[in-house]
Copies of this chain bind each other. A is one copy, B any other.
């Protein structure tokens, strides 16, 4: 969500209500209010005025730091999603397929999280508004894709002992996440174990085949 208040020892904890420096408490209040309201009422009913009221903050304070509700949600996303969608390096030597499936399950779970709903809303709104699309792509998706490509390549290199080019990994990433997003965004249906299994097996099969 945003950097923690610094790691203590001697936090003042006295919230200086105002001053010439940005108020961290106001920033967090806005971020949390936005997140809560999105989950409670949905993106369509999310308004700047509602966020301001919920956060106990003046509207102008929001407009001073964010351009729109999309901008706020992008901030919300920044910390949370990055972590939730992170590729874990396996602790012991497990099967590659199991690791992949575990990652997919984590991604599937993410769509139920508040942070997942934020991303879902932003991807939705990106269809309707070019600026949102650009901001989302530049501010999150591009980097996420790079992390996904690196993560998948690392996994493939490890166990099936295949080496694939960047472009080829890109296509495998499409194959890997496409079905998940498709079910979540388009069909609005849950991503169950079978989907996870089929998708993981498909990607690994293709990887081995294209290595041959």
Interface residues of A (CB under 8 A from B): 42-44, 120-121, 123-130, 133, 137, 141, 145, 167, 171-172, 174-175, 177-183, 185-188, 194-195, 198-199, 201-203, 205-206, 209
Cα-based distance from A50 to B126 in the complex (angstroms): 22
Identify the interface centre among A125, A167, A178, A205: most chain B CB within 10 Å of its CB: A178
Q: How far is the CA of A124 from the CA of B43 in the complex (A)?
A: 12
Copies per complex of this chain: 4
Which DSSP category, helix, strand, loop or mixed, fits chain A's interface? Answer: helix
Q: How many angstroms between the C-alpha atoms of A19 and B195 in the bound complex? A: 54
**Interface contacts beyond A42-B129, A181-B181: sample of 20 additional A-B pairs, CB < 8 Å, sorted by A:** A44-B128, A44-B129, A123-B185, A125-B127, A125-B128, A145-B187, A171-B198, A174-B179, A174-B183, A175-B175, A175-B198, A175-B199, A175-B202, A177-B178, A177-B182, A177-B186, A178-B180, A179-B179, A182-B182, A202-B205
Give 24 CB contacts A-B under 8 Å. Answer: A42-B129, A43-B128, A44-B128, A121-B127, A121-B128, A123-B124, A123-B185, A125-B127, A127-B185, A141-B187, A171-B179, A171-B194, A174-B182, A174-B199, A175-B175, A177-B186, A178-B180, A178-B182, A179-B179, A181-B181, A181-B185, A198-B206, A201-B206, A202-B206
